[in-house]
Chain A
Amino acid sequence: MSGARSATGALAVLLAVTAACGVKSVSAPDPSRTVLADGSRVYVSPEQNETDGLYPARPSQLWAKPQGDAPARQLTFGSASVADPVVLDDGRVLFVSAMPPSLSTPGTHLALFVVNSDGTGVLPYACEHDGAPYVRGPRELPGGIVAFRASDSPGGKERWESVLSARPFRSRGPLPAALVKEAENPGPRARMPMGRLSTVDPSKKTGILLCLDARRNSESESPLPVTRVRILAGGAGSARALGEVPLAADGSFLAEVPADVPLGIEALDEQGRVVRALAPWIWVRPGENRACIGCHEPHGFAPRNRRPLAVKEPPARLTLPATIAETRSRGGM
């Protein structure tokens, strides 16, 4: 814990974790770029062993340590390890982690994610399904550019790439040469990141998942033949089904789910066959209301203006089986 407070310690952790992932860390950005608006410093913990891989039993998570004696708070609760956090101007934390394997993207694929400063609202940010599968060391540059190192294989030849914050899922390409120097040494941030008041309610043990239309997907205009969803909880290799939630007539569902555990979703058709599956990687914080547009929803889309029918009933309550160990831990390192 005290080691994580120093830049050297943080770097050691980063190196250890990313080495386990088969990825070397770039030179860390200026320390000001890992500080939240309230002065908390974001870091990764715990250290990983080389043999742990991307989905260890206790994956590396993001933590934020406030100034003074206040305890650190955990920000991420996914099943894959995380690395290389930086704080964006909008106050969110950008970091590297692995996408859960899927039919369209089998094998390892690292991507950029964002999460709010209280661990709510985790979302993919870029590189989810496109380009080289190994990324690290993201940094925010002026002009709405996010640069990062990319390679086609672990430990392979790296290059600078970037995305535009205006369209991060459609703009991945080589970083313009004129910006490479800035990317390599970003320097202190020009202005403080945006602040945010936490919406986490520590008195609660659950959060809410709302999906506007589980039949909506990014692959085609035709709605998926989904009639209900199965929610899973637990890390890699230990996921358990919490229960099933039928869809409302418009495809929406509302469920109360355990907080601070990795959650996955299987979309089922009338015969109970899995139409789409999301391996556990998202989570809700205590008291968080987390919503999505669809099942493997199109990225960068705002929702259509419709009241979801599911909200006219109380949420389906899905509780955590005792056999699943909570990934929530106290005090960090």
Chain B
Amino acid sequence: MRRKVALWSLVLGAMAALGAAAGARTHILKMSGRKDLSGVKGCSNCHFVSTSRLAWSKKRPHHAAPAGLVLSPDGARLYVALDDTDEVAVADVAARRVTAKARVAGAPTGIAVDPTGERLFVTCRGGDRLAVLEARTLAETGSVPVGVGPIGVAHVATPAGGRLVVANAVSDDLSVISVSPLAEVARLSAGREPYAVAAAPGSRALVVSRMANITRGDEVPASEVTVVDAASARVTLRARLDSAHLSEGIELVPRRPWALASIVRVRNLVPITQVAQGWVMSSGLALCDPVSGKSVEIPLDEANAYFADPSGVAVDADGRRAYVASGGGDVVTVVDLDRLGRWLEGADETTRRDAIDDLQLSPEYVLARVPTGRNPRQVVLSPDGKTLFVAERLDDSILLVDTESLRPVGRIALGDGGEKDPIRRGERVFARARTTFQAQFSCRSCHPDAHVDGLAYDFDIDGVGRDIVENRSLQGLDGTAPFKWNGKNPSLKVQCGPRFAKVLTRAAPFSGPDLDDLDAFLTSLPPTRTGHETHGRLTEAQERGRRIFFAIQMTDGRPIPYSSRCSTCHRPPLYTDRLPADVATKGPFDSTGKFDVPHLLGVAASAPYLHDGRAATLEEIWTIYNPKDTHGITNYMTKHQLNDLIEFLKTL
């Protein structure tokens, strides 16, 4: 009897399961309008997705990772911005220890000091403000709103009084601020993601932008050095740095007509058939004349060794030496500027033009490579030039280097380094270049802050010249598997696994533990900040756009088929159903037209768009690249409606 019951239970259970499966299939086919189930893994493609369950919604440990550094004018104190812990710390240089910390809300990132040493000026990247602190007590005495995502700041002396120039990395502009009274006097446009600022004589400030401009087709990208007259609050010059990006540091060189900006020379237009011989990218310096705007790019790498992700730059007071932190190579490169100057004098126009590609050139002027801890980023020199301070961002420490012997002489500990935190360990894997062939680049090199560089690349594995794909952001990607534009990688561990090593790094794959930590790091990243936060309240235009996004009929009442509605494939809360879709964007060099539906969180900050980056702006997705309503039914929209839709998308 019991056996009969068990048997019937099994049969009924099996029938129920089959019935459920059939029902699910019918449901999926009907609701999605698809004739295949390719990519559907279960109900969770469309249902039960909650951002509160994602890794980036959960609390995570915070670390005393040093961002900006500045020394007091007498060199006795080092002030450090700790963006992850919302603090500014002050360390006694002689004692080599932190003596005080103060809370500064909004992710303090960049830091400058006024010439008297009495005030600190701190950019708060998350709070979109500049905070003024009393240097002695670290008490906040003032605050002024600036653009979105401020990073670099410099104090500039002008006949009109002290001015500050702030680089607003998210809004792509500069704030010129009068110190007294504390007020923004001008907002000037900059390059893409202005990042570092250096004061220059003559009331000027030099700002280098981290990203190259968005390009179309086979255009050569370029980033920008913006020269600002802080007194008149005018941009006086924009210098173009060809094929340069990821510039995170700039300094003027005394006695010479140069500013030095750290750059990565990217070669995104060249098919990635190899990594050797600088084929993917190489690091260097741009010598930029702030008067004429002309620049010469020189390599910091060597023919068989690379020092990836050059970041902060410091130059001594005599203009004889420059120190460049290599964030991916864990070294500081010391450059003899006298030797560099002599080389430059003897170089003709062609030699100067080709210098950045000459990987055997750097021994002409590189004096030494000083090993550091993990991910050295900002560097500052003591006023007497004898000590270099290096922010070891992923070790939570400051390294002190004696500039005469070029040896480390001590450390200032800011935190415990975070060894026990898998997210921190994963970030180290992410920033480390030595897992690529000859340490040419790190993950950061194409994904700064784990975001995008806005460039498209030709990976040779699918054919030279074929399947050129635009870079994708890694921020906010938890819960959005599968990965890769063709959706073939079901998880991050596969995405970053052996095939990644074969196709890109041309080295051994990440070890198991490294891969686990990398996964922890990447999934912990929230979506990109776009600067269009709504704080829960949409404007009228954004609300109209939201209704258009979720519309089920056109303006004249005709229904929009389910499969053609924006919200079908781009389902909230992640704005992707994680299925492959063909929106008729297959190009002549693409092997498929089916692409993994990208999530839209942070989409406003992820230009360009579509799988190969052909749409430079969100508008172009529909004004140029959707002529037959294959990427949603959108051609019924008026310009009003399209503008409103864009305003809504910017809020995601």
Q: Report A-B touching, CB under 8 Å.
A: yes
**B305/A305 in contact, CB under 8 A:** no
Chain B residues lying within 8 Å of A199, measured Cβ to Cβ, are 461, 502, 506
**A165/B271 in contact, CB under 8 A:** no
For residue A152, CB closer than 8 A to chain B, the reply is no
- Number of B interface residues in the complex (CB < 8 A): 48
Known: A254-B464, A289-B273. A300 touches B350 (CB 8 A): no
| Contact residue among A166, A310, A311 (Cβ-Cβ distance under 8 Å from B360) | A166
Interface locus among A20-28, A167-175, A223-231, A261-269: A167-175
Chain B residues lying within 8 Å of A168, measured Cβ to Cβ, are 303-304, 360
| Contact residue among B267, B270, B304 (Cβ-Cβ distance under 8 Å from A165) | B304
For residue B498, CB closer than 8 A to chain A, the reply is yes
Min C-beta distance of A20 to chain B, whole Å: 30
For residue A312, CB closer than 8 A to chain B, the reply is yes
| Contact residue among A169, A197, A221, A306 (Cβ-Cβ distance under 8 Å from B220) | A306
B interface vs A, CB < 8 Å?
A: 218, 220-221, 242-243, 265-271, 273-274, 276-279, 282, 302-305, 350, 354, 356-363, 437-438, 458, 460-461, 464-465, 498, 501-502, 506-509, 589
Q: How far is the CA of A122 from the CA of B265 in the complex (A)?
A: 24
Chain A residues lying within 8 Å of B278, measured Cβ to Cβ, are 302-303
For residue A144, CB closer than 8 A to chain B, the reply is yes
For residue A214, CB closer than 8 A to chain B, the reply is no
For residue A147, CB closer than 8 A to chain B, the reply is no
Chain B residues lying within 8 Å of A302, measured Cβ to Cβ, are 265, 267, 277-279, 282, 356-357, 359
Q: How far is the CA of A303 from the CA of B270 in the complex (A)?
A: 8
**A312/B508 in contact, CB under 8 A:** no
Min C-beta distance of B369 to chain A, whole Å: 10
**A312/B589 in contact, CB under 8 A:** yes
| Contact residue among A167, A307, A312 (Cβ-Cβ distance under 8 Å from B270) | A307
Known: A301-B358, A312-B465. A166 touches B270 (CB 8 A): no
**B276/A121 in contact, CB under 8 A:** yes
**B508/A301 in contact, CB under 8 A:** no
Known: A194-B508, A254-B465, A302-B282. A308 touches B271 (CB 8 A): yes
Across the two chains, which residue of chain A brings its CB closest to B460?
A289
Tell me the chain A residues, 299-324 only, with Cβ under 8 Å from chain B: 299-308, 310-312, 315
**A165/B460 in contact, CB under 8 A:** no
Known: A197-B509, A221-B350. A121 touches B304 (CB 8 A): no
Of the candidates B218, B465, B506, the one having the most CB atoms from chain A within 10 angstroms of its own CB is: B465
Interchain Cβ contacts under 8 Å between A and B, 23 examples: A91-B507, A121-B274, A165-B303, A167-B303, A168-B304, A171-B363, A195-B508, A196-B506, A197-B508, A208-B460, A208-B464, A210-B271, A221-B350, A289-B271, A300-B359, A302-B359, A303-B267, A303-B278, A305-B243, A305-B268, A306-B220, A306-B269, A310-B465
Across the two chains, which residue of chain A brings its CB closest to B281?
A302
Instruction: Give the number of A-B contacts (CB < 8 Å).
Output: 136
**B279/A303 in contact, CB under 8 A:** yes
Q: How far is the CA of A311 from the CA of B277 in the complex (A)?
A: 20
Across the two chains, which residue of chain B brings its CB closest to A199?
B502
**A167/B360 in contact, CB under 8 A:** yes
| Contact residue among A165, A198, A300 (Cβ-Cβ distance under 8 Å from B277) | A300
For residue A333, CB closer than 8 A to chain B, the reply is no
Chain A residues lying within 8 Å of B282, measured Cβ to Cβ, are 302
For residue A123, CB closer than 8 A to chain B, the reply is yes
Min C-beta distance of A311 to chain B, whole Å: 3
For residue A135, CB closer than 8 A to chain B, the reply is no
Chain B residues lying within 8 Å of A164, measured Cβ to Cβ, are 363
Q: How far is the CA of A315 from the CA of B271 in the complex (A)?
A: 14
Across the two chains, which residue of chain B brings its CB closest to A194?
B507
Q: How far is the CA of A295 from the CA of B270 in the complex (A)?
A: 17
**A311/B437 in contact, CB under 8 A:** no
Q: How far is the CA of A181 from the CA of B350 in the complex (A)?
A: 42
For residue A37, CB closer than 8 A to chain B, the reply is yes
Chain B residues lying within 8 Å of A123, measured Cβ to Cβ, are 276-277
For residue A291, CB closer than 8 A to chain B, the reply is yes
Q: How far is the CA of A115 from the CA of B278 in the complex (A)?
A: 16
7 interchain residue pairs of minimum CB distance: A311-B465, A195-B508, A302-B278, A167-B360, A166-B302, A305-B243, A300-B360
**B360/A291 in contact, CB under 8 A:** no
Min C-beta distance of A295 to chain B, whole Å: 16
Q: How far is the CA of A30 from the CA of B271 in the complex (A)?
A: 38
Q: How far is the CA of A90 from the CA of B508 in the complex (A)?
A: 11
Chain A residues lying within 8 Å of B498, measured Cβ to Cβ, are 197
Chain A residues lying within 8 Å of B358, measured Cβ to Cβ, are 298, 300-301
Chain B residues lying within 8 Å of A310, measured Cβ to Cβ, are 465
Q: How far is the CA of A275 from the CA of B279 in the complex (A)?
A: 27
Q: How far is the CA of A301 from the CA of B277 in the complex (A)?
A: 7
Chain A residues lying within 8 Å of B271, measured Cβ to Cβ, are 210, 289, 291, 308, 311
Chain B residues lying within 8 Å of A37, measured Cβ to Cβ, are 508
Chain B residues lying within 8 Å of A144, measured Cβ to Cβ, are 302, 304-305
Q: How far is the CA of A196 from the CA of B265 in the complex (A)?
A: 25
Q: How far is the CA of A289 from the CA of B466 in the complex (A)?
A: 13
For residue A240, CB closer than 8 A to chain B, the reply is no
Known: A121-B274, A300-B277, A311-B464. A194 touches B305 (CB 8 A): no
| Contact residue among B266, B273, B354 (Cβ-Cβ distance under 8 Å from A210) | B273
| Contact residue among B269, B356, B461 (Cβ-Cβ distance under 8 Å from A307) | B269
**B357/A165 in contact, CB under 8 A:** no
**B270/A306 in contact, CB under 8 A:** yes
**B507/A196 in contact, CB under 8 A:** yes
**A291/B279 in contact, CB under 8 A:** yes
**B302/A167 in contact, CB under 8 A:** yes
For residue A42, CB closer than 8 A to chain B, the reply is no
Min C-beta distance of A300 to chain B, whole Å: 4
Min C-beta distance of A142 to chain B, whole Å: 13
For residue A290, CB closer than 8 A to chain B, the reply is yes
For residue A64, CB closer than 8 A to chain B, the reply is no
Min C-beta distance of A92 to chain B, whole Å: 8
Min C-beta distance of B490 to chain A, whole Å: 19
Known: A121-B276, A194-B437, A303-B267. A289 touches B350 (CB 8 A): no
**B502/A197 in contact, CB under 8 A:** yes
Chain B residues lying within 8 Å of A312, measured Cβ to Cβ, are 465, 589
For residue A111, CB closer than 8 A to chain B, the reply is no
Of the candidates A37, A121, A212, A300, the one having the most CB atoms from chain B within 10 angstroms of its own CB is: A300
Chain B residues lying within 8 Å of A171, measured Cβ to Cβ, are 363
Across the two chains, which residue of chain A brings its CB closest to B282?
A302
Chain B residues lying within 8 Å of A198, measured Cβ to Cβ, are 502
Chain A residues lying within 8 Å of B461, measured Cβ to Cβ, are 199
Q: How far is the CA of A90 from the CA of B438 in the complex (A)?
A: 6
Chain A residues lying within 8 Å of B242, measured Cβ to Cβ, are 305
Q: How far is the CA of A290 from the CA of B271 in the complex (A)?
A: 10
Q: How far is the CA of A220 from the CA of B361 in the complex (A)?
A: 18
Across the two chains, which residue of chain A brings its CB closest to B219?
A307
**B502/A210 in contact, CB under 8 A:** no
| Contact residue among B362, B437, B465, B506 (Cβ-Cβ distance under 8 Å from A166) | B362
**A196/B269 in contact, CB under 8 A:** no
Across the two chains, which residue of chain A brings its CB closest to B466?
A311
Of the candidates A91, A164, A197, A199, the one having the most CB atoms from chain B within 10 angstroms of its own CB is: A197
Q: How far is the CA of A291 from the CA of B266 in the complex (A)?
A: 17
Of the candidates B282, B303, B465, B589, the one having the most CB atoms from chain A within 10 angstroms of its own CB is: B303
